[in-house]
Amino acid sequence: MGNICSRSSNQGDPFNQPGRVVGTSSGGTAAPRAPLPAKTNWKATPGRTLGESTADGSTGGTDEARANAAIAAQKRAESASANKGKLGSKLAAQKAQTQAQTLDQVSRTERAARDVDGVEAARRWE
């Protein structure tokens, strides 16, 4: 009954076949490989490690790049503080308030809301 679903054209279990030694070819043709370059000159110039100075003693512009980055960051910070706009100005004013000033402002707002409610109740004859 087990052979009903099986056909003779199905391949058998790959572990039932004889194996091969690791590192040997599988007997078929190997996968195509890209050709190696004709002249390898990578040994002639070993290159530089990071932070290594050049022959004239300079560090290859890393200090100059760092200084340029610092100047650019300073300019961005100055332009951001100069162009706050309406919301930025309001936020700066709010941050500058003391706790007493903030509480006084909240109190005035609440009193104004109560006055509006009182006027509304008087208009309705309550």
Query: Does residue 35 sit within a domain?
Result: no
Within-domain flag for 60: no
Q: Is residue 118 part of a domain?
A: yes
Digit-coded pLDDT (tens) for 59-70: 556 788 899 999
**Residues sharing a CB contact under 8 Å with residue 7, sequence separation 6 or more, in sequence order:** none
To the nearest whole percent, how much of the chain has pLDDT over 90?
Answer: 27
Average pLDDT over residues 88-110: 90
> How many domains does the structure of the chain reveal?
1
Choose between 72 and 1: higher pLDDT: 72
Return the pLDDT at 120: 94
Q: Is 103 within the bounds of a domain?
A: yes
User: Quick one: pLDDT band at residue 30, thresholds 50, 70, 90?
Assistant: low
The residue segments making up the domain with residue 94 are 84-125
Q: Is residue 78 part of a domain?
A: no
Going along 41-118, which residue ranges are E strands?
none
What band does 55 get if pLDDT is binned at 50, 70 and 90? low
